[in-house]
Every structure is written in C-alpha cells, then in structure tokens.
Amino acid sequence: MKDLKVIGDDKVTAIGIGTWGIGGYESPDYSRDRESIAVLKYGLELGINLIDTAEFYGAGHSEELVGEAIKEFERDDVFIISKVWPSHFGYESAKKAARASVRRLGTYIDLYLLHWPGDSFERIKKTLWALEDLVDEGLIRYIGVSNFDLNLLMRSQEVMRKYEIVANEVKYSIRDRWPETTGLLDYMKREGMALIAYTPLEKGSLARNECLAKIGRRYGKTASQVALNYLIWEENVIAIPKASRKGHIEENAGAMGWRLSEEDREKAKRCV
C-alpha cells in the first residue's frame, strides 16, 4: 500500500476508516446498513486495511456492520480497532464487554482501547489488567487507550504487568494541534506508540478551507487531502476520517502516497 505505519508489530495504512455514526450514534440505525457495508468493503478493496469502531457506536451495531463487511476478505488483511466504554471498566466488566464486541464482529479484535479515561484510575488499572488477560486468551492482540493526555498515558504505562500500550487515539487535526503543543506527540514517537487521530477533518469544515485548497492545487490534491497529509506526515500518526460515501473513501485514500513539503506544511498551519 502507498503509506504504511506501525501498530505493535503490524503494518497498517496511514489512513483508516472511522465508523462513528455508521450504524447509528448512541442507538442503532438500520436504515443505511446496505450502503454502509458497501462503503466499508469499498475502502478495503482500495487497500485501506484499518477500520476503527467501538461498542458505543450505534450501541454495538457499528461493530456488526464491520463484521459483515469484512467477511469476504482474508482476516489477516484487515486490522480492526474497537473500544470499551467507561461504564464497562473494571476487571470482569471489561472482559464481558470485549467478548460481546467479539461476538458482534464475528472475529477477534486487533487493537482494543479504553474509550475515555473515566473517573477512576483504579478502574483504569483493573481494566488494563483485564485486557492483558484477553491478549492471553486470544480475543484481542494489542492494548491501547483513547483520549488520554500525557500524564495519564504515562501513569497507565506504569501499571502494565505483561504487555505494552501500543496506541493512543485522540482528537487531532491541523486546527486542533494539542498533541504537538503538550508534548504528547513527541513522547509517543519516542516510545514507539501510534497516535491515532480522530476528527482529522473537523467534521468536514477543513474540506471547505480555501487556503488549504490553494496549497493542494500545487499537488493536484484537495483541501481534505492536505489536512490529512499534514497529520500522516508524522511517522507515528494514523488518521481515521469518517467515510459515509464511496467518494469520501476515494478522497481519503488520495491523501496517501505523497508528502507536503516542509514549507507548505508550515503554510498549512496558518490556514486555520
């Protein structure tokens, strides 16, 4: 594939497929299932091999759609991320939630994340220990977190007993560069951890940025592709834009296989 990054010992595409809203938001929505499955399959056919989902998305229906979409593909060719919601934190609760996600997906989970920090570090610790046991059981392959700042990420690393935290999924875009300004990005780079960027297009607003579009025209690219390329320019950053239509998938894939010059990357920062 054009652009590959590393999660654990696996190589994944620098652009993945985000599924927030696919299959519903906080409750299931079955009205667009056929279209959603077709979009996910189209992304895999284009060579994108990473799909990000969660038990919270559509109350689990997003995971069901992902499971349906990957059936025609070799399992080893797809990297699936899912997440446990804070209400299911705790040693036994997290194990139960993971098993439910595996049932909905119809397969094991490559990377399982704590979706949000929740309100208790003690529960975070017990959940991480549960995930280590799930690795041993073969239900998940890697452990990660989501929406953890630098301090909480470091504390979480310290309580791991057998395995490492390999990824942290956070909001990150050319407009919202807090991982850069807080030291999180540099720390994760040094530690060999993947930073997975969600909402990388700021809910579509960056796609309409004329300044980014002007930079993109020099490369034959769109504003969205410039915004995504800004992120994956970093060696350990993977972006997971939401894609609800095939056209979105194609445009997102086109953010790979090239790089902004350092000069244009600096100019892009001033566009937002």
- Per-residue pLDDT, 214: 98
Residue 223 lies inside a defined structural domain of this protein:
no
Q: Mind listing the pLDDT tens digit for each residue in 199-231?
A: 999 999 999 999 999 999 999 999 999 999 999
CA angle 14, 20, 24 (to 5 degrees): 150
> The domain that contains 252 carries what CATH number?
3.20.20.100
Mean of per-residue pLDDT scores for the chain: 97
Residue 268 lies inside a defined structural domain of this protein:
no
Q: What are phi and psi of 258, to 5 degrees?
A: -155, 170
- Per-residue pLDDT, 244: 86
Structure tokens at 28: 């299931």
Q: How many CB atoms lie within 10 A of CB 87?
A: 13
> Domains in the chain: how many in total?
1
Strands (E) across the chain are located at 4-7, 10-13, 17-18, 50-52, 79-84, 109-114, 140-146, 165-171, 194-198, 237-239
Residue 126 lies inside a defined structural domain of this protein:
yes
Residue 132 lies inside a defined structural domain of this protein:
yes
Residue 136 lies inside a defined structural domain of this protein:
yes
Assign 40 a pLDDT band (cuts: 50, 70, 90): very high
Q: Which carries the bigger pLDDT value, residue 256 or residue 119?
A: 256
Q: Mind listing the pLDDT tens digit for each residue in 136-173?
A: 999 999 999 999 999 999 999 999 999 999 999 999 99
**Could you give the C-alpha distances from 222 to 113, 225, 247, in angstroms and in order?**
32, 5, 13
Q: Mind listing the pLDDT tens digit for each residue in 52-63?
A: 999 999 999 999
Of the residues 25, 30, 42, 57, only one is catalytic, namely: 57
Percent of the chain with pLDDT over 70: 99
Predicted TM-score (pTM) of the model is 0.97
Q: Can you give the residue range of the structural domain that contains 123?
A: 4-205+231-260
Residue 225 lies inside a defined structural domain of this protein:
no
Q: Is 29 left (phi over 0), alpha (psi -120 to 50) or beta?
A: beta
Judge whether 57 counts as a catalytic residue: yes
Spatial distance between the Cα atoms of 259 and 266, rounded to a whole number of angstroms: 13
| 1 has a pLDDT exceeding 80 | no
Residue 220 lies inside a defined structural domain of this protein:
no
Residue 217 lies inside a defined structural domain of this protein:
no
